[in-house]
Chains A and B, each alone.
Chain A
Amino acid sequence: MKYADEFRDPVRARGVLAQIEEAIDEIGATADAPVYIMEVCGGHTHAIFRYGLDKLVPEGLEFIHGPGCPVCVLPMARVDECVELAERSDVIFTTFGDAMRVPGTRKSLLQAKADGADVRMVYSPLDALEIARRNPNKEVVFFALGFETTTPSSALCIQQASQEDLSNFSVFCNHITVPPPIKALLDDPHMKLDGFVGPGHVSMVIGIEPYQFIARDYGKPIVVAGFEPLDLLQSVLMVLEQIRSGRAEVENQYSRVVPDDGNPVSIAACENVYEPREKFEWRGLGEIDHSGLKIREEYKRFDAESKFRIGYGKASRIVPEPEGCSCSDVMTGKIKPPQCAQFGKGCTPEMPLGALMVSTEGACAAYYHYGGARPELEPAQ
Chain B
Amino acid sequence: MCLGIPGQIRSISDYERKLALVEVSGVNREINIACIMPEDGDADSLIDTWTLVHVGFAMSRIDEKEAALTLELLTELGEVQAEIDAMRAAESAMEQAT
Q: Which residues of A contact B (CB under 8 A)?
A: 6, 8, 41-43, 46-47, 50, 68-71, 92, 94, 96-98, 118, 120-127, 130-131, 134-135, 137-138, 146-147, 149-150, 152-153, 156, 160, 199, 201-202, 204-205, 227-228, 256-259, 263, 265-266, 269, 359-361
Tell me the smallest distance from the CB of A53 to a CB of chain B, in Å. 13
Tell me the smallest distance from the CB of A169 to a CB of chain B, in Å. 14
Residues of A within 8 A of B32 (CB): 126, 153, 156
Given contacts A156-B34, A199-B2, A256-B66, contact A97 B55 (CB under 8 A): no
Find out whether the CB atom of B56 lies under 8 angstroms from the CB atom of A131: no
Tell me the smallest distance from the CB of A86 to a CB of chain B, in Å. 13
Give the A-B pair count, Cβ closer than 8 A.
135
Contact of A130 among B52, B83, B94 (CB under 8 A): B94
B3 contacts A by Cβ under 8 Å? yes
Find out whether the CB atom of A257 lies under 8 angstroms from the CB atom of B66: yes
Q: When A and B form their complex, which 3 residue pairs have the shortest distance between CB atoms, in order from nearest?
A: A124-B56, A120-B93, A123-B90
Find out whether the CB atom of B90 lies under 8 angstroms from the CB atom of A121: yes
B residues 19-65 in Cβ contact with A at 8 Å: 29-30, 32, 34-37, 52, 54-57, 59-60, 62-63
Find out whether the CB atom of B2 lies under 8 angstroms from the CB atom of A153: no
Please indicate which of the listed interface residues B30, B57, B79, B85 has the most CB atoms of chain A within 10 Å of its own CB. B57
Find out whether the CB atom of A153 lies under 8 angstroms from the CB atom of B94: no
The complex places the Cα of A98 from the Cα of B85 at a distance, in Å, of 12
Find out whether the CB atom of A127 lies under 8 angstroms from the CB atom of B93: yes
Q: Which residues of B contact A (CB under 8 A)?
A: 1-4, 17, 29-30, 32, 34-37, 52, 54-57, 59-60, 62-63, 66, 69-70, 73, 76-79, 82-83, 85-87, 89-90, 93-94, 96, 98
Find out whether the CB atom of B2 lies under 8 angstroms from the CB atom of A43: yes
Given contacts A47-B77, A121-B93, A265-B35, contact A257 B52 (CB under 8 A): yes
Find out whether the CB atom of B90 lies under 8 angstroms from the CB atom of A43: no
The complex places the Cα of A92 from the Cα of B2 at a distance, in Å, of 24
Find out whether the CB atom of A97 lies under 8 angstroms from the CB atom of B86: yes
Given contacts A152-B35, A263-B60, contact A120 B96 (CB under 8 A): yes
Given contacts A156-B34, A266-B35, contact A257 B62 (CB under 8 A): yes
User: What residue of chain B has the Cβ atom nearest to residue A145's Cβ?
Assistant: B1
The complex places the Cα of A131 from the Cα of B60 at a distance, in Å, of 27
27 contacts between A and B (CB under 8 A): A43-B3, A46-B77, A50-B76, A50-B77, A68-B2, A96-B55, A96-B86, A118-B98, A122-B86, A122-B93, A123-B89, A124-B56, A124-B57, A126-B57, A137-B98, A147-B2, A149-B59, A152-B57, A152-B59, A153-B32, A153-B57, A156-B35, A204-B52, A227-B73, A258-B60, A259-B60, A360-B77
